[in-house]
Chains A and B, each alone.
Chain A
Amino acid sequence: MAILIGLLAAIGTYLILSKQMLRVILGLSLITHAVNLLLLTSGGLKTGHPPLLSEKSTVFTDSIPQALILTAIVINFAVTAFLLVLSYRTYKLYGTDDLEQLRGNDDE
């Protein structure tokens, strides 16, 4: 799991550093996936137990990280959708998706 998280984060970072806008957005969503997996591991990985605490059972799966991930996924979904629309509009107006050409000040 740790290796997977690291791999996702590394690929995400590589993509964020690239020039193309779409790649940056994909990189962001990869990084957020890595973070979601990290959240999953934060409760400790236990398999084979329900996330319910009954009187008999002494071992149970911590359900809070899953609730957190659900929230985080929803938020990231909304942000990614918004970012895609934003980048599409920018691409339409500027005629380029190359971030190198989008830098600079407002003085031009």
Chain B
Amino acid sequence: MNNVLILPIILPLITGMLLIIFREKIILQRVFSLLAVFLTGTSAVILLKQIQESGIQTLQLGGWVAPFGIGLVGDFLSVLLILTSSIVALCCLLYSFRSIGEEREKHFFYPLFLFLLTGVNGSFLTGDLFNLYVFFEVLLIASYVLVSLGGKKFQLREGIKYVVINVVSSSFFLVAIAYLYSVTGTLSMAHISVRVAEVGQDGFMTVIALLFLMVFATKAALFLFYWLPGSYSAPPTAIAAVFAALLTKVGIYAIFRMFSLIFYHEPQITHITIGVLAALTMILGGMGAIGYWDIKKILTYNVILGSGFILAGFAAFSTEALTGSIFYLMHDMIIKALIFLIGGAVIALTGTQKLQEMSGLIRTHPKLGWMFFIAALSISGIPPFSGFVGKVFVTKGTFEMNLFWLGIIGLFSSLLILYSMVKIFMNAFWGETILSEEEEKGTDKGLLFPIFLLTLLTILLGVFAEGLVPFIEQAAEGLLNPEAYINAVFNGNPIP
């Protein structure tokens, strides 16, 4: 029992609800939303310490013992992800102060942002399958509104597609839950894991597993990513950055959890399926990233590539590969937010999304240019930045598990990422300066600080990876040994 576990969920929720009342007071909204996100991050740090000292933390809501009530479970994986998402959210908030515009700020941008964070943190923490669905819906509904907030023509059109696709995939989620409930008779994830281990994962169970995979693949942009490029390029930068950094990652987390805790008995079917999908995702995402000349499109296809790479590591399913996956997952949250913010700043400066129409920004904005360069190196996995460590572990893991094709496609995809990034760098930053400072459509004043923060983070994460890897290794071990999770949830009570 640890009451700190609920803080990452209720802090943003309560602040968001309060801020709805103070709709007109923008300064107040800014201060309080920053504070809420900061405190969420702090509670994640506290949790991390507690987990290190005394193992996985659990909280059974309302005091109902394990399989009957809804429980929250915080292990290394979920708390590390909460910490990273709070940091990213903080930077995106700082960015949005300058860029989001008063209209949106007065129309509940900050409450929606906080509700989105509630859903994300809740999905990371919950130990109950149906509760996972509810938190998915919380974050999805907040994201529906954020996509269409502002009511531009383009936003509305993409918003409709986004909502329809997510409603369909949520229905499939419910179908999968219904099937699983009718087979196992329980909704607590730890309890389901015990029951599945008892009866064995037969063909029917594997079908349910693949149904879950389909649902989460839609959310995580794993192969079923056709909805992503449109809806992620519709909203303004700060929102798109949060989406890119957090939303798909929640789907990835759900895949991690479901397929390491519950459906780990038939890896040659489920995990190989994940591996094949990941490989296809990387290839198709890479094609998209090198094919487009629209800066936002290139970045969204990079999100898809990232998802593919993380799940390639998961498909290998060894300590090494999982360590790499989790490290890369954290790195990916930071770096995706970073490149989206930089891309947004570039679009704000030039007033266009097309690469052909921009050039030579590095002369007028050297800081922005070099930070993009660092981000480009980091995302394509060049030492000493953070992408390198994750890529090494994932590649090593896939090779060790004899999945050479997967590792090679992963490495090849890094080349595609590098190409797409260098394309942006060459076109937007190098070359003749066609835009003098007076002609610029907007400013990057105030936008640089959050970008700088994230750049610093990716450097630190790369240089001091050694200090972080032990934590992540423990998270990976936790995924490989579900007994620890189950024991922590049941806490010595008899398992019915």
A residues lining the B interface (CB < 8 Å)? 16, 21, 24, 28, 31-32, 35-36, 38-39, 41-44, 64-65, 68, 71-72, 75-76, 78-79, 82-83, 86-87, 89-90, 93-94, 102, 106
Question: Is B386 engaged at the interface, CB distance under 8 Å to the other chain?
Answer: no
Interface window among B46-54, B108-116, B166-174: B166-174
Are the C-beta atoms of A86 and B148 separated by less than 8 Å? yes
Question: Is B175 engaged at the interface, CB distance under 8 Å to the other chain?
Answer: yes
Choice from B130, B141, B171 contacting A68 with Cβ under 8 Å: B130
Question: Is B156 engaged at the interface, CB distance under 8 Å to the other chain?
Answer: yes
Nearest-CB distance from A104 to chain B (Å)? Answer: 9
Are the C-beta atoms of B163 and A83 separated by less than 8 Å? yes
Choice from A38, A43, A68, A82 contacting B145 with Cβ under 8 Å: A82
Across the two chains, which residue of chain B brings its CB closest to A25? B164
Interface of B (DSSP majority class):
helix
Enumerate 26 A-B pairs (CB-CB under 8 Å) in ascending A order.
A28-B164, A28-B168, A31-B168, A32-B174, A35-B175, A39-B174, A39-B178, A39-B181, A42-B182, A64-B187, A68-B130, A68-B181, A72-B174, A75-B137, A76-B167, A79-B141, A82-B141, A83-B164, A86-B148, A86-B159, A86-B160, A87-B160, A89-B148, A89-B151, A93-B153, A102-B157
Q: Number of residues in B with C-beta < 8 Å to the partner?
A: 28
Question: Is B26 engaged at the interface, CB distance under 8 Å to the other chain?
Answer: no
Q: How far is the CA of A65 from the CA of B153 in the complex (A)?
A: 40
Nearest-CB distance from B450 to chain A (Å)? Answer: 26
Within 8 A of A (CB), among B98-153: 130, 134, 137, 141, 144-145, 148, 151, 153
Question: Is B154 engaged at the interface, CB distance under 8 Å to the other chain?
Answer: yes
* Given known A-B contacts A82-B141, A86-B156, A102-B157, A35 and B163 have beta carbons under 8 A apart: no
Are the C-beta atoms of B175 and A38 separated by less than 8 Å? yes
Q: How far is the CA of A39 from the CA of B178 in the complex (A)?
A: 5
Choice from A24, A32, A68, A72 contacting B164 with Cβ under 8 Å: A24
Are the C-beta atoms of B160 and A42 separated by less than 8 Å? no
Are the C-beta atoms of B160 and A28 separated by less than 8 Å? no
Are the C-beta atoms of B164 and A65 separated by less than 8 Å? no
- Chain B residues near A89 (CB-CB < 8 A): 148, 151, 156
* Given known A-B contacts A64-B187, A89-B151, A78 and B141 have beta carbons under 8 A apart: yes
Are the C-beta atoms of A16 and B168 separated by less than 8 Å? yes
Across the two chains, which residue of chain A brings its CB closest to B68? A64
Most buried by A among B130, B163, B174, B181: B174
- Chain A residues near B171 (CB-CB < 8 A): 28, 31-32, 35
- Chain B residues near A43 (CB-CB < 8 A): 181-182
Question: Is B15 engaged at the interface, CB distance under 8 Å to the other chain?
Answer: no
Most buried by B among A31, A44, A72, A83: A72
Q: How far is the CA of A87 from the CA of B141 in the complex (A)?
A: 15
Q: How far is the CA of A44 from the CA of B182 in the complex (A)?
A: 7
Nearest-CB distance from B192 to chain A (Å)? Answer: 13
Q: How far is the CA of A44 from the CA of B183 in the complex (A)?
A: 10
